[in-house]
Amino acid sequence: PVSEQSPHQTYFSAEPLDRLSVKRPDSDWIRTRQQDPGTVYLLFHKLSPMIREGDSGGTGPADSRLCRFTYGELKELLERPGSQLVFLGVERSLPPCPTADPQKPPDPAPRAWFALGSDLDQSELLQLSKEPNKCCFPKNPHRDLLRLGEEEAGLVSHSRSVLAWHSRYSFCSTCGGRSRVEEAGHKRSCENTACISHQGVHNTCYPRVDPVVIMLVLHPDQSQCLLGRKKVFPSGMFSCLAGFIEPGECVEAAVRREVQEESGVLVDRVWYVCSQPWPMPSSLMIGCLAVAVTTEISVDQDEIEEAKWFTRQQVIDSLIGGSGAAFMVPPRQTIAHQLLRHWTGLSSNL
């Protein structure tokens, strides 16, 4: 397998920063970086980042940009109750240049980035920006967070998942007591010193990531694929089946179970293709191809409105986006779209 080409990078998975997790417990270091005038802050209202909309009116490849703030601009907000700080990492240092002047002073500490979540009024937060009229907190994450550049999408996926965890996990699930933030926003510990969560290391203290399988199921003769639609999808759109991995399952077993539950189709072989973090609120999408051994469809009406076999040509037509296409594919930023492209052999335009 080591000779194959690496699969495409997915939207939300860029890692422009070094997370430098080793520094998270060092509160002195964190505080110093926090107050550095070069440090960059991203500002969130609840789980929505402040963005500046592009001038293209929402059609360009990256028509929203994250607003950036300095420590000076957020100093007061940082002290307010309801503010949640997350250390995102530092900019990756370039490898030292061999022809560099040895007399030159060493590089300063790399620039640090933080996310700051606040539950104050949006209008109050917008006033912190230099261009409050051009900025906003987008309302529909499934649509609006797909308009960022690759690197900013990576920062949002990290920030949003961790902020969502703080918003839903501020009590200790083991004893019901309040928990306190530690490790620069990446850990919560129970404030009840008698709580058994203090004995040993437990997942209750760490941000949750929910693994999900998402799979393009191929017909036994591999000429067609199985797609489904949920009631909430835009009209005409079909996508890959998907579902949460359950305790005690491997990836392949979860693919087989979810496909059978949602469509009645039995699957045999399964191949991993690529993965994607999905920060709504904190999933890890594990993208697979799977080959069916039966073809009769019987949908789980609770979850899926309709499931159908589509030919390879129908998928190609839909990816190319002609008006006569049999159905609408999900947006290119989704791993479902990338799985469809992967199967048809159309190169990614991500």
Ligand X SMILES: Nc1ncnc2c1ncn2[C@@H]1O[C@H](COP(=O)(O)O)[C@@H](O)[C@H]1O
Restricted to residues 233-272, the positions that interact with ligand X (CB under 6 A) are 242-244, 258
Q: Which of residues 250-289 bind Mg ion (CB under 5 A)?
A: 258, 262
* C-alpha span between 128 and 277 (Å, rounded): 30
Q: Show Cβ contacts of residue 289 under 8 Å, excluding neighbours closer than 6 positions.
A: 215, 216, 218, 270, 271, 273, 339, 342, 343
Of 168, 220, 313, 346, the one binding a copy of itself (CB under 8 A) is 168
Of 125, 172, 299, 329, the one binding Zn ion (CB under 5 A) is 172
Asked if residue 64 binds a copy of itself (CB under 8 A), the reply is no
Asked if residue 174 binds Zn ion (CB under 5 A), the reply is yes
Nearest-CB residue to ligand X?
Answer: 243
Report the nearest approach of ligand X to the CB of residue 74 (Å): 28
Asked if residue 284 binds a copy of itself (CB under 8 A), the reply is yes
Of 54, 138, 281, 331, the one binding a copy of itself (CB under 8 A) is 281
Q: Which of residues 131-160 bind ligand X (CB under 6 A)?
A: none
* C-alpha span between 155 and 163 (Å, rounded): 12
What 92-96 contacts at long range (C-beta under 8 Å, 24+ apart), as own/partner pairs, is: 92/16, 92/17, 92/18
Of 54, 243, 264, 281, the one binding Mg ion (CB under 5 A) is 243
Q: Which of residues 296-315 bind ligand X (CB under 6 A)?
A: 303
Please tell me whether residue 137 adopts helix, strand or coil conformation.
coil
* C-alpha span between 312 and 100 (Å, rounded): 54
Q: Over the range 248-282, which residues count as b (16 or more CB within 10 Å of their CB) and which as e? A: ebebbebbbbbbbebbebebeebeebbbbbbbebb
Asked if residue 71 binds ligand X (CB under 6 A), the reply is no
Report the nearest approach of a copy of itself to the CB of residue 343 (Å): 9
Q: What angle do helix axes 335-344 and 312-320 make, rounded to 10 degrees?
A: 120
Q: What are phi and psi of 270, to 5 degrees?
A: -135, 135
Asked if residue 107 binds ligand X (CB under 6 A), the reply is no
Q: Which is nearer to Zn ion, 103 or 199 (CB)?
A: 199
Q: Which of residues 20-49 bind ligand X (CB under 6 A)?
A: none
Q: Which is nearer to ligand X, 43 or 245 (CB)?
A: 245
Locus of tokens 């058994």: 196
Contact 307, 282 (CB under 8 A): no
End-to-end CA distance of the chain: 25
Q: What angle do helix axes 71-79 and 27-35 make, rounded to 10 degrees?
A: 130
Of 81, 201, 235, 321, the one binding ligand X (CB under 6 A) is 201
Beta bridge partners of 328: 237
Of 109, 175, 284, 297, the one binding Zn ion (CB under 5 A) is 175
Q: Which of residues 161-200 bind Mg ion (CB under 5 A)?
A: none
Q: Which is nearer to ligand X, 262 or 317 (CB)?
A: 262
Asked if residue 206 binds ligand X (CB under 6 A), the reply is yes
* C-alpha span between 87 and 83 (Å, rounded): 13
Binding segment for ligand X (CB under 6 A), chosen from 71-79, 130-138, 148-156, 203-211, is 203-211
Asked if residue 317 binds ligand X (CB under 6 A), the reply is no
Size of the site for ligand X (CB under 6 A): 9
Nearest residue to 294 via CA among 276, 279, 307, 313: 307
Task: Tell me which residues touch Zn ion (CB under 5 A).
Answer: 172, 174-175, 177, 190, 192, 195, 197
Task: Tell me which residues touch ligand X (CB under 6 A).
Answer: 201, 203, 206, 210, 242-244, 258, 303
